[in-house]
Amino acid sequence: MSKQINIALIGNPNTGKTSVFNALTGLNQQVGNYPGITVEKKEGICKLDRNLKAHVIDLPGTYSLNASSLDENVVIELLLNRNDKDFPDVVVVVSDVENLKRNLLLFTQIKDLEIPTILAINMADRMDYKGISLDIPYLEEHLKTKIALISTRKKTGIEDLKALIENYKEMSSEPCLKASEIDNDYFNKLRKAFPNQLLYKLWLVITQDVNFGKTNRKEINAINSFKTKTKGDLKRLQQKETIKRYQFINNVLKIGQTIDVNQAKDLRSKLDRILTHKIYGYLIFFLILLVIFQAIYDWSAIPMEFIDSTFAQFSEWTKNALPAGDFTSLLAEGIIPGLGGIVIFIPQIAFLFLFIAILEESGYMSRVVFLMDKIMRRFGLSGKSIVPLISGTACAIPAIMATRNIESWKERLITILVTPFTTCAARLPVYLIIISLVIPEGSFLGLGYQALTLMLLYLIGFGSAVFSAYLLNKVLKIQSKTFFVVEMPNYKLPLFKNVALTVLEKTKSFVVGAGKIILAISIVLWVLASYGPGENFNNAEKIVSQKFQKDNLNESELSKKIASHKLEHSFIGIAGHAIEPAIRPLGYDWKIGIAIVSSFAAREVFVGTLATIYSVGSDDEETIKNRMAGEVNPILGGPLFNFASGISLLLFYAFAMQCMSTLAIVKRETNSWKWPAYQLVVMTALAYLVALASYQFLK
């Protein structure tokens, strides 16, 4: 029987920790949340030998064990709680060879907790380029650890790291230095009061505001009662501790590390001058966005057409191959079209995540954060707010969670409230299908009208978020003051494996999460559309036959009329007609109204809902796009999805609240239903008014 150990990967942001995690676990990984907290948790399995495998946890990036944000608290909570099932048997501290001095602060703190700790020095392939040389035996001796010199890019040193992990029991757990010397009297009293506890653990409990989970609460309260010093005194002691640690690190690196400045070749400063320039920086970022949106359309066109026709054929085959009946109708008219409505957008969503991953991996995203800080400040936000706003293009839920690293409550609250304006991936299917119907395929200066429209919608969303932040900054009377600090990582070519795993993980998460909702809603919608009350539904064939008796319709045309009559008098048709007076001024019919209401579960459900509604009772092999293009406006005549109604619908979704899941996460992050209620009311009203104005103007 094989044994399993726990490994915790810990390190500063931008040290390549995720690359090490991917190198150790490969595809044997999953993403979730820590119990009771909405901080992302990545874990995976690494096989070491026949009888030993490791459960690897990739902890949130942190600069030290002096936590300043909720995700950093996760690291401390785990390291201080030996009762936790994930408590590490061995810690791997991932450091960057170019920033070793800064990375070692965290390493020395973890060593003080007397947990077997390995130092993995990453990006070793850049040592010659930067003129860096390391005396590994000297560093191992004075840091009281074992060192793995690795390069995830060149795939070197990973086997050495695995070998060290296997032999973790042979490693010294002795601290590097005596941090208690900063105040011997205080720490001696602390040691006497709690003789059976680690001294540094006591110190962290006293100085950190952390939820220690399963740790004995009486014990924690007893330790906290030892706060005999004021907050100011404790802060000064923390500063002394940091100074002492850096003195130790400097002394070790004087001999253990040499840097030949003349040998280092660095283009970073030249690139930074261009990419963060007050004019060129914004222009380059704008051009990058243009290229991304053009590529999303051009590269995904062929696979989308293939998926669209495949689902239509599969639906038709199901109807012909299986015995006629309700189950066959449910499959052919409900489940398959509903799922097809989301699968068709996998290529575009995957490309969106691909570009975001490349920008993050290359180090460019940090430059965007720095560049945008100057603008954000004017609207009551900090540069850190741009990270949730940009990540909101994937999904608002993790984007709102990402606000946890914003120290100011006012800035964090404003960011939470405005993030849903940014165009998330769930809106993308709605935008793409409507744009393809109402925007022509021409081009301007080599850029397609459709791609430009998509980019304009993204800019409208971002602009709305920033303008709303400006208004909220004026309205909310909350006093706060923060400072913006951002690290500029080195530029690097994105690792193919990291990008591929990110795209696979994010796309899978999006499709599986959306697929569950769409499958459930498709079944419900099919039932509501396939059954109805009263004579109008039950005697549909007789009523339609009598009505069109003189028109000499063939069998196919008559069956279409019967299907349309049944749908209009079904349960879903009755509900749609009930809300139609409210949405008719926006250019929508009752079918679109049903899709809008059902899409509150998740925006991407809009397309799946229309696919289900339009497929009910249809015997023709037609794609969702063709069915929508063939819809006729019952009052004005002509296509229902024309330029005016299409723009109205696009703008409605640009401003409307994203989904019920977003409301739930806003409630959780603000600990109140007041803020999500404000969001829902204000954004829905704004969406309605903008859509109304645009349709009335354009029609």
Least confident segment among 104-118, 196-210, 217-231, 379-393: 217-231
Averaged over 545-568, what is the pLDDT? 75
- pLDDT of res. 137: 93
* Digit-coded pLDDT (tens) for 405-446: 676 778 888 889 999 998 877 787 788 888 888 888 877 777
Average pLDDT, the chain: 80
Q: Which residues, 6 or more positions from 11, have their beta carbon under 8 angstroms from its beta carbon?
A: 17, 61, 93, 94, 95, 103, 106
Among candidate residues 522, 413, 448, 173, the one with its CA nearest the CA of residue 297: 448
Cα atoms in the Cβ-side hemisphere of radius 13 Å centred on 73: 17
**What superfamily would CATH give domain 1-263?**
P-loop containing nucleotide triphosphate hydrolases (3.40.50.300)
Q: What is the pLDDT of residue 620?
A: 47
Long-range contacts of 497-503 (CB under 8 A, 24+ apart): 497/19, 497/22, 497/23, 498/18, 498/19, 498/22, 498/357, 498/361, 499/354, 499/357, 499/358, 499/361, 501/22, 501/27, 501/29, 502/353, 502/357, 503/350, 503/353, 503/354, 503/357
Is pLDDT larger for residue 354 or for residue 600?
354
What amino acid occupies position 237? L
How many C-beta atoms surround the C-beta of residue 477 within 10 A?
A: 6
Both tokens of 352, joined, read: 């969106």
pLDDT band at 34 (very low <50, low <70, confident <90, very high): very low
Widest CA span in the chain: 104
**Helices 643-655 and 449-475 sit at what angle, rounded to 10 degrees?**
40
Higher pLDDT: 311 or 647? It is: 647
Q: How confident is the model at residue 225 (pLDDT cuts 50, 70, 90)?
A: low
pLDDT of residue 624: 61
Helices 100-111 and 136-143 cross at an angle (nearest 10°) of 40
- pLDDT-wise least confident of 257-271, 341-355, 402-416, 486-500: 257-271
- Taking only the tens place, the pLDDT of each residue in 279-322 is 888 888 888 877 776 777 678 778 878 887 888 788 888 888 88
Whole-prediction pTM value?
A: 0.61
> What span, in angstroms and rounded, lies between the C-alpha atoms of 629 and 642?
9
Closest CA to 420 of 219, 202, 657: 657
Of residues 629 and 147, more confidence is placed in 147
How would you class 326 by CB atoms within 10 Å of its CB: exposed for 0-12, middle for 13-18, buried for 19 or more?
exposed
At 37 the pLDDT is: 44
Percentage of the chain surpassing pLDDT 90?
16
Tell me the per-residue pLDDT of 157-216, one tens digit each, with 9 for 90 and over: 999 999 999 988 888 888 988 888 888 888 888 888 888 888 888 888 887 765 544 445
Among 36-50, 139-153, 367-381, the range scoring the smallest mean pLDDT is 36-50
Q: For residues 651 and 480, what is the distance between their CA atoms, to the nearest angstrom?
A: 34
Rg (CA), the chain: 30
- Kindly state the average pLDDT of the residues 30-49: 66
Of 498, 366, 350, the C-alpha closest to 425 is: 350
Closest CA to 61 of 402, 311, 502: 402
Burial of 211 (0-12, 13-18, 19+ CB in 10 A): middle
* CA dist., res. 452 & res. 294, Å (int): 8
Residue limits of CATH 3.40.50.300 in the chain: 1-263
Please determine, for residue 564, whether its predicted confidence score (pLDDT) is greater than 60.
yes
**pLDDT band, residue 682 (cuts 50/70/90):** very high
Among 108-112, 188-192, 216-220, 593-597, which is the least confidently predicted range? Answer: 216-220
282, HSE (Cβ side, Cα atoms, 13 Å): 6
Q: What is the pLDDT of residue 32?
A: 53
Instruction: Please give the pLDDT value at position 264.
Output: 47
Contact 614, 632 (CB under 8 A): no
- Averaged pLDDT for residues 357-374: 80
